[in-house]
Amino acid sequence: MSSDLTVGGEEPPEVADDGVWLECIETGEQYAPFEGVRYRSDAGALLEVRYAEHPTFEEFSGEGVWRYDAALPVEREVTIDEGATPLYEVPRLEDEVGVESLRIKHEGMNPTGSFKDRGMTVGVGVARRLGVDRLACASTGNTSAALAAYGGRAGMETLVLLPAGKVAAGKIAQASLHGARILEVDDNFDTCLDIVQDLASRGEAYLLNSLNPFRLEGQKTIGFEILERHREEYGEFPDRIVLPVGNAGNTAALYKAFRELVASGALDEEDVPKLTGVQAEGAAPMVEAVENGWDEIERWEDVETRATAIRIGNPVNAPKALPGIRATGGTAVAVSDAEITDAQRALAGEGIGVEPASAASVAGLRKLRENGVVGSDERVVCLTTGHLLKDPDAAAAAGVEPESVPGETEGVLKHLDE
């Protein structure tokens, strides 16, 4: 399978294991998937998991991530019933934005409160098959929580590196309670990832950031779920999917899901949704690359945003995500922290609680609609990636202040009247 949408079936190479292999996205060099640990090709480029056969929707059964086991590289083994997240209606927000339909795919309803669980159920399962004994990741928070939970479920040692003072308390608490060793690095996320990659290259741990191609296999099931549910309820696929961009793993994963469905004949090329990425203004290298027509991103050394989950200056999956945005006719946009907070409040008003980074998708849709990039006739799905309680401090800051009242009913009534 190439990185184009128009692809056909593939003949498995000699290195394939039961129709599964790894392939370099730049050179096409192919590797055995489970004979040893590998994150990049010999050329230093990203790898993708490739398959000899691509299933159609009719071949999926069950619920959650493992409903799609026919499109995954390993069998169900380490699971906490992840996936099958809601696709919420938001009627007031839909009217305000002015689109034909708007749905919110809330990945915060996964077991540890973020989409990262989808990648970990597959990634930790692969780690078991490879026989490794220590898992590791760099994280802005959600990855650490998911890895700690799934590593704990598998009975494996877990190591997480976090940028000191830059991770929401709710996420650190999760990683801690699930038993991970937490190392706080005196620098940003990208430095944490540099260190974890170095540890992995020395054989000290199995890396489970989205640089690991097996992680994205679990995350692509978000795309399968959106397409199935949307078609079930509207009779057609969405025109556009808007999603927050940190390391660009979800953008790459959804594009891969669409390519595989096109290859199987389950999805026509003209029905592929436009992938639209949203970043915070203080951490927007993907937007910069899209706006300038660059083939590669330029790393931002200094990044800052209250949306901690997307405070990333060097999106590792940009080489997979940029082609996906362009091939689907999508785009990318940057939004301010104030716009993110306003979108977070708007979602809360519809009863949907998300962390700041999640609300970036809605903030981006608003801006693109105002600019005329998104049409009033479009059916749109916004992806929200993490639960409100991931960052309770941000939620409290965005919400209303408590009011002091006397300790008796008449005093309360008087206060309400005032």
Q: Which residue type is seen at 335?
A: V
Is 51 inside a domain boundary?
Answer: no
Same domain, 251 and 388: yes
Is 405 inside a domain boundary?
Answer: no
Q: Pairing relation of β-strands 101-106 and 87-89?
A: antiparallel
Is 325 inside a domain boundary?
Answer: yes
Residue 418 pLDDT exceeds 50: yes
Residue 279 pLDDT exceeds 60: yes
Here the CATH number for the domain that contains residue 331 is: 3.40.50.1100
CB 137 within 8 A of CB 167: no
Instruction: State the total domains in the chain.
Output: 2
Question: What confidence tier does 391 reach under pLDDT thresholds 50, 70, 90?
Answer: confident
Same domain, 106 and 241: yes
Is 48 inside a domain boundary?
Answer: no
Q: What is the pLDDT of residue 322?
A: 98
Residue 170 pLDDT exceeds 60: yes
Q: Pairing relation of β-strands 134-138 and 206-207?
A: parallel
Q: What is the pLDDT of residue 8?
A: 47
- The span from the CA of 344 to the CA of 352, in Å, is 9
- The span from the CA of 86 to the CA of 191, in Å, is 35
Q: What is the pLDDT of residue 3?
A: 61
H helix intervals, 21-111: 91-97
171-182: per-residue pLDDT in tens? 889 999 999 999
Q: What is the pLDDT of residue 369?
A: 98
Q: What is the pLDDT of residue 166?
A: 83
Same domain, 129 and 205: yes
- The span from the CA of 52 to the CA of 341, in Å, is 45
Q: Work out the average pLDDT over 362-370.
A: 98
Q: What is the pLDDT of residue 7?
A: 52
Q: Work out the average pLDDT over 285-300.
A: 96
Which residues are documented as binding site? 142, 246-250, 385
Question: What confidence tier does 189 reach under pLDDT thresholds 50, 70, 90?
Answer: confident
Mean pLDDT of the chain: 95
- Going by C-beta distance under 8 Å and a sequence separation of 6 or more, which residues neighbour residue 326? 290
- Going by C-beta distance under 8 Å and a sequence separation of 6 or more, which residues neighbour residue 192? 138, 139, 161, 162, 163, 185
297-355: per-residue pLDDT in tens? 999 999 999 998 999 999 999 999 999 999 999 999 999 999 999 999 999 999 999 99
Which residues are documented as binding site for pyridoxal 5'-phosphate? 142, 246-250, 385
Same domain, 168 and 232: no
Is 234 inside a domain boundary?
Answer: yes
Residue 97 pLDDT exceeds 80: yes
Same domain, 106 and 155: no
**Strands ordered across the beta sheet of 274-280:** 87-89, 101-106, 379-384, 240-244, 274-280, 331-335
Same domain, 235 and 201: no
The last residue of one of the domains, among 179, 212, 245, is: 212
Q: What is the pLDDT of residue 46?
A: 97
Same domain, 97 and 246: yes
Give the pair of three-digit tokens for residue 255.
């594009």
Same domain, 200 and 262: no
Residue 6 pLDDT exceeds 70: no
CB 98 within 8 A of CB 374: no
Q: Work out the average pLDDT over 279-292.
A: 97
Residue 9 pLDDT exceeds 70: no
Q: What is the pLDDT of residue 5?
A: 63
Percentage with pLDDT > 90 across the chain: 89
Is 8 inside a domain boundary?
Answer: no
- Structural domain harbouring 321: 87-112+216-398
